[in-house]
Amino acid sequence: MTPQVLAALIGAVGVLSGVVAGSLFSAGYQRRALAREHAARSNDERRKIFAAFLTSAREWRSALLSPRSKVMDASAVSPRRHVDGGQAVTRTFGLRSEVALVAHPPTIRAAFALVKAVGALAEGAAQYRDAVAADATFPGDLVVACRVAEVEFTVAAREELGFAGFDTELREIFLGVGRTPLPVEASG
């Protein structure tokens, strides 16, 4: 083998080695970039679902406090007498299912706890309306329990999405500390 052939062979092997190494580095970079893009898209989709669920649960809570809402003997929400939350209930249950499909276990547990708290408010609001003639006290503690469950869901969702939780001041702002819930008027 002549020195020129040997030099050409070494040059070709060097070039091929560079191409192989470059393609391996490039493929690794592309995989990492694709994984980051997928994670960002997944976070954005989950954030939208979490926000829609929280909004729907609040709409359900608000519907329960409306004097125009109806009292029902039983439904899918509760086997006991409760105030109907209208379409907000259906949306909340549907979005809770979506949360269960995309969220981590702590966020799923917080979503179920929020639905349970609003369901308890539905029952408490019906009992209040039934007893309003006897000067019953509105179940404000159930409204507070809903707000606490909203905060706990928000904290779990924020942690799952990689955001900081709430400090004491933010929790108080979120809970509406210092505000008194308005009593529900009895429907006639």
Q: What is the pLDDT of residue 20?
A: 73
Q: What is the pLDDT of residue 184?
A: 46
In angstroms, what CA-CA distances link 54 with 103, 146, 178? 14, 11, 22
* CA pair distance 31, 57, nearest whole angstrom: 39
pTM (2 d.p.): 0.71
Q: Is the pLDDT of residue 33 over 90?
A: no
* CA pair distance 139, 11, nearest whole angstrom: 84
Using pLDDT thresholds of 50, 70 and 90, give the confidence band for residue 180: low
pLDDT digits (tens, 9 = 90+) for 62-116: 998 888 888 888 888 788 888 889 999 999 999 999 999 999 999 999 999 999 9
